[in-house]
Amino acid sequence: MTTKLFGAKVPRVEDQRFLRGQGRYVDDLLHDDPRLLHSAVLRSPHAHARITDIDVSDVLDLDGILAVWTWDDLTGPMAEPLPLLIPHPTLTHGRTQYALAKDEVNYVGEAIVFVVAVDRYVAEDAVSRIRVSYDHLEPVVGIDAARAAQRLVHDDVPGNVGARMEQENGDARAAIAAAPHVLTLDLDIERSACTPMEGRGTVARWDPDTSRLTVWSSTQTSTGVRGCVAAKLGLDLAKVDVVTPDVGGGFGVKVVHPWPEELLVPLAAMTLGRPVKFTEDRREHFISSAHERAQQHHVEVGFDDDGRVLGLDVEFWHDHGAYTPYGLIVPIITSTQLLGPYKPQNYRVVFESLYTNTVIVTPYRGAGRPQGCFVMERTMDAISAYLGKDRTEVRSTNFIQPDEFPYEHGLIFQDGRELTYDSGDYPASLAKLKELVGWDEFEDFRAEMAAQGRRVGIGLACYVEGTGVGPYEGAHVHIETSGKVKVATGLTTQGQGHQTAFAQIVADTLGVRFEDVEITTGDTRKMPYAVGTFASRAAVMSGSAIHLAALRAKEKALRIAAEALEASEEDLEIADGVVSVRGTDATIDLGTVAVLSNPLRYAFDEASKAATQFSVGDPGKPPVAEDDEPGLEGKDFYSPPRSTFANGMHAVIVETDPETAEITILKYAVVHDCGHLINPMIVEGQIHGGVAQGVGGALYERMAYDESGQLLNASFMDFLMPYVTEVPTTIDIDHLETPSPLNPLGIKGAGEAGVIPSAAVFAAAIEDAEGFPITAMPISPSELFDLRLAHADESHPLSEETR
Amino acid sequence: MSSQPEELHDVRLHVNGSVHEVRVPARRLLSDALRHDCGLTGTHVGCEHGVCGACTILVDGTPVRSCLMFAVSAVDAEITTVEGLTEADGSLSPVQQGFSDCHGLQCGFCTPGFLTTITAGLRDNPDPSEDEAREMIAGNLCRCTGYQNIVKSVMRAAEIQRGES
């Protein structure tokens, strides 16, 4: 009998190639092709300028230079602005850049000239010899400057406002006015970024014999890239294949498409008739990919004596950088997911999405949720402090209760659907978290530490995460005559272990050996209908689609096997790839069923003889029945009515050094509920990674733009990504498995969760240690030290927040 | 800067027990030579300024950032890349096995640099404490794992190497 694999800690199959140095990332491809060309991009050194002249005369005759493109050399759709991927009615002033800058540059790093050469070194030499003349314009850097609007990023966008959006459920302002207690808070989050270890990269090869273009890209959406490349280069979709090889991390940034280079590389490959590669370097990744997180928030909250929120009014300002290719997804997520596990009686949210002369802003793991969580959890902590109540008690008072699901918030979510939570058990999660972190024992610990002259604090933060957004994913399952099972799903993989987790699902659903299942992701030749890997959606969407497709294949296998074994389908079972009739010795393996599924004229080996025309079939009927098709395959799609909502709660105990203000993590605890776990080992790995990224975001990482729009820390020397020395030595994890009713496997997404509550939970713990409010994150020891000085004379630091 | 073709140098690189004869300009980074001239793409380049550690290889047994070294400087050295860590019979080395056992990798991009670093680290210290394991990997960046399982992988690798399974 086949062991059930769903839910087991199955070791990852992809590890074998990665550990042997046999992974194939985009920069590894075609390295042995002597015709391969390389590219480099001249990028704007200025945050805001008009281009008056581009002089490439010095490089055209350089040895090893094949071609140079500026905007003037682009024609047709390539000369038009890049697509605005997700339009929204409130995005009244959406703007996107050109593949190569036309007349104006709006951030340091914007692409201006594209050079193709025999190698990257020569291409970079050429870039350094191109002369561009600029008329400088005053840059708009940071949310304050954008809001002040004394200068404009785009002349035709008044006030630098790309969008203003408002949603309301109930009457928040009236409820606040009538509430017994009111607090206001101003809360800020700075910029950060995904920074995967592998940057962006694209390789393209044009085959003149077949007039086909193959593009390999380090992307989170192969089908998205394919659609854009075909449209921009004027090719039929059928002439373009996009393949996503191994990807060295994404975390959101690689869902943006098409990057300028993702179009220019295929254009160059077609023009020059040779394969062309672009591999981004680290500085380029900092200044010409995408960032996220920067927002300012103003909160007004009215509540009763128990801390029950009666009205919540949130206004916030989102820095979306110089252009809006990804629409309003990040601020919409903040504005809706801010609510977390709570049910304020009345809620109003308004945001403005603002232009600045900085790198574009698109989703980074968490995608607006870390900011929303920070706002809501800081508010809960402020209410608790004001009322003198335990922070877990105020949260409990506001929780949506288990019997209230499905819970409708009366708002529209990022997918254009109602914000309706499907399931969860927040009181149970909180009970687990308190136990895990030792919440009730903390005051003893604090006293013990204080006796040693040490200062500690504890914080917690809760979140709800809409995962598995639509519109759909699909899967194709093919059982070969060898009994091997080949599965294709269209979304991509960037380290999540899809080849393992999806194979676990197939092995269980179909009743085959795990090692006989091979999963292909992100290859438009195998599955041209797909969306992509983002929003913690892969397990929910493709996992469900693969399950459904495997069921289709199984149905067919049982039908054919029943005929061959002269048994009833109900009496059959499949295990380890063998169909057997229960209670008898009669069996047939799936490979043979696959042979029988495909009536043959020609035998190609011993086994296939069984399917030839003189061996099988009723001579009175067509070999393939009217409503049937040859082959043992199953194909299906999964398209849910709406997202499924995972949730979790984190707690942290920190120590702050009384002298240096250094912040040390003593304990980190996570309670996580993503429904049924396919592979707990992989889910825990995702949580570990998210927590580490969250530690970076809370305590170390930020984008240090100066007032002229130069990114001062555009390297791993200066952008402080955590090493092992900065992360907690252990992360205690406990799971709750509240299944989703929305998909056949009861699963919810897990990819982003670990990073969502970090800013909130660290702010809470540091505040608890220090006794004054923490309203802006990230926080460095220097900033904490400055806050200590600022609060040194205040006896009741929280009172300044009340009115 | 001249537009004359660059002077090329014939370099014999000794990598994983094989000799690779490559013709490269003096400025060609060892990381690029290994990847693009020798075809050993297991060594990854994450930052090109010696901070992330993804490109770490062993030069005469010592971990070195191959993005901070020129190919022409490596002529007399014995180089080991991730491809050379696997045992002669094709099985995983103790360090590779440790990572497999403990889910010590996700996207796999930084992994080669960790594997080479830890291989050298365990040669110097075959029985590290957890703190020493952390110290051993404290110069390598990983964005996926949060390092939790990499530390476990080091401990597991040491265990395998010592013959305790």
User: Contact at 8 Å (CB) between B55 and B65?
Assistant: yes
Q: How many residues does chain A have?
A: 803
User: Contact at 8 Å (CB) between A457 and A661?
Assistant: no
Residue holding tokens 């797909």? A530
Q: What DSSP state is assigned to residue A273? A: T
d(CA A723, CA A396): 36
Residue from the list B5, B108, B139 with its beta carbon closest to the beta carbon of A18: B108
Chain A interface, mutation test: which of B109, B135, B149, B160, most A Cβ atoms within 10 Å?
B109
Residue holding tokens 């977390």? A340
Q: Quick one: which of A716, B140, B89 has its CA closest to B154?
A: B140
SS3 of A336, please?
helix
SS3 of B61, please?
coil
Distance from the A685 Cα atom to the nearest Cα atom in chain B, whole angstroms? 6
Among chain A residues, the shortest Cα distance to B109 is held by A248
CB contact under 8 A, B109 and A731: no
- SS3 readout for A408-428: EEEEECCCCCEEEECCCCHHH
Q: Is B149 on the interface with A (CB under 8 A)?
A: yes
Q: Quick one: which of B131, B136, B121 has its CA closest to B61?
A: B121
User: Contact at 8 Å (CB) between A275 and B136?
Assistant: no
Q: Is A512 exposed, middle or buried (0-12, 13-18, 19+ CB in 10 A)?
A: buried
Question: Tokens representing B118?
Answer: 């830890």
Pairing of strands A732-736, A663-673: parallel
Among chain A residues, the shortest Cα distance to B130 is held by A729
User: Contact at 8 Å (CB) between B35 and B45?
Assistant: yes
CB contact under 8 A, B39 and A31: yes
Q: Is B27 on the interface with A (CB under 8 A)?
A: yes
Among chain B residues, the shortest Cα distance to A22 is held by B42
Q: Is B139 on the interface with A (CB under 8 A)?
A: yes
Distance from the A534 Cα atom to the nearest Cα atom in chain B, whole angstroms? 15
d(CA A383, CA A97): 44
Q: What is the pLDDT of residue A20?
A: 97
Distance from the A18 Cα atom to the nearest Cα atom in chain B, whole angstroms? 5
Q: Output the CA angle A356-A360-A366, nearest 5 degrees.
A: 115
d(CA A418, CA A643): 9
Does an H or E element contain A319, and which? strand A309-319
SS3 of A495, please?
coil
Residue from the list B49, B96, B144 with its beta carbon closest to the beta carbon of A249: B144
Tell me the CA distances in angstroms from A175 to A50, A178, B156, one per residue in order. 50, 5, 58
User: Contact at 8 Å (CB) between B61 and B120?
Assistant: yes
Q: Quick one: which of A115, A147, A148 has its CA closest to A129?
A: A115
Residue from the list B36, B42, B51 with its beta carbon closest to the beta carbon of A22: B42
What count of Cα atoms within 13 Å lies in the side-chain half-sphere of residue A2? 25
CB contact under 8 A, B105 and A19: yes
Across chain B, what does the average pLDDT equal? 95
Q: Is the pLDDT of residue B5 over 90?
A: no
Q: Which residues of chain A have pLDDT under 70?
A: 1-3, 794-803
Residue from the list A31, A246, A721 with its beta carbon closest to the beta carbon of B35: A31
Q: What is the pLDDT of residue A800?
A: 40
User: Contact at 8 Å (CB) between A346 and A310?
Assistant: yes
Contacts of B146 in chain A (CB under 8 A): 687-693, 727, 731, 754
> How much is the CA Rg of chain A, to the nearest whole Å?
28
User: Contact at 8 Å (CB) between A215 and A204?
Assistant: yes
Q: Is B155 on the interface with A (CB under 8 A)?
A: no
Pairing of strands B18-25, A776-777: unpaired
For chains A and B, CB pairs below 8 A equal: 183
Chain B interface, mutation test: which of A12, A15, A194, A726, most B Cβ atoms within 10 Å?
A15
CA A523 to chain centre: 19
Distance from the B139 Cα atom to the nearest Cα atom in chain A, whole angstroms? 7
d(CA A144, CA A125): 39
CA B21 to chain centre: 20
Residue holding tokens 């006794």? A771
Among chain B residues, the shortest Cα distance to A197 is held by B46
Chain A interface, mutation test: which of B143, B153, B160, most A Cβ atoms within 10 Å?
B143
Question: Beta strands of A373-451 (E only): which ranges?
Answer: 407-412, 418-421
Distance from the A495 Cα atom to the nearest Cα atom in chain B, whole angstroms? 3
Distance from the A692 Cα atom to the nearest Cα atom in chain B, whole angstroms? 5
Q: Output the CA angle A142-A144-A148, nearest 5 degrees.
A: 120
SS3 of B28, please?
coil
Residue from the list A28, A31, A731 with its beta carbon closest to the beta carbon of B148: A731
SS3 of A548, please?
helix
Distance from the B64 Cα atom to the nearest Cα atom in chain A, whole angstroms? 17
CB contact under 8 A, A724 and B137: yes
CB contact under 8 A, A693 and B146: yes
Q: What is the pLDDT of residue A607?
A: 80
**What are the backbone angles phi and psi of residue A647, rounded to the nearest 5°?**
-155, 170
CB contact under 8 A, A22 and B92: no
Contacts of A284 in chain B (CB under 8 A): none
Contacts of B81 in chain A (CB under 8 A): 21
d(CA B24, CA B16): 20
Residue from the list A16, A497, A689 with its beta carbon closest to the beta carbon of B146: A689
Q: Is B129 on the interface with A (CB under 8 A)?
A: no
User: Contact at 8 Å (CB) between A644 and A637?
Assistant: no
What count of Cα atoms within 13 Å lies in the side-chain half-sphere of residue A640? 30
Q: Judged by CB atoms within 8 Å, which residues 57-76 of B form the interface with A?
A: none
d(CA A247, CA A265): 18
Cis bond upstream, residue A258 (ω within 30):
yes
Cis bond upstream, residue A406 (ω within 30):
yes
Long-range CB contacts (within 8 A, 24+) of A447-450: A449/A655
| Strand-pair partners of A669 | A651, A732
Distance from the A171 Cα atom to the nearest Cα atom in chain B, whole angstroms? 43
Contacts of A726 in chain B (CB under 8 A): none
User: Contact at 8 Å (CB) between A745 and A676?
Assistant: yes
Q: Is B81 on the interface with A (CB under 8 A)?
A: yes
Q: What is the pLDDT of residue A802?
A: 40
Residue from the list B86, B111, B143 with its beta carbon closest to the beta carbon of A18: B111
Question: Tokens representing A380?
Answer: 């809960």
Q: What is the pLDDT of residue B4?
A: 63
Distance from the B54 Cα atom to the nearest Cα atom in chain A, whole angstroms? 8
CB contact under 8 A, A248 and B145: no
Please provide the DSSP assignment of A689-735 as one string.
HHHHHHHIIIII----B-TTS-BTT-STTTS----GGGS-S--EEEE
Distance from the B47 Cα atom to the nearest Cα atom in chain A, whole angstroms? 5
**What are the backbone angles phi and psi of residue A176, rounded to the nearest 5°?**
-65, -45
d(CA A606, CA A319): 66
d(CA A114, CA A276): 12
d(CA A475, CA A109): 39
User: Contact at 8 Å (CB) between A310 and A178?
Assistant: yes
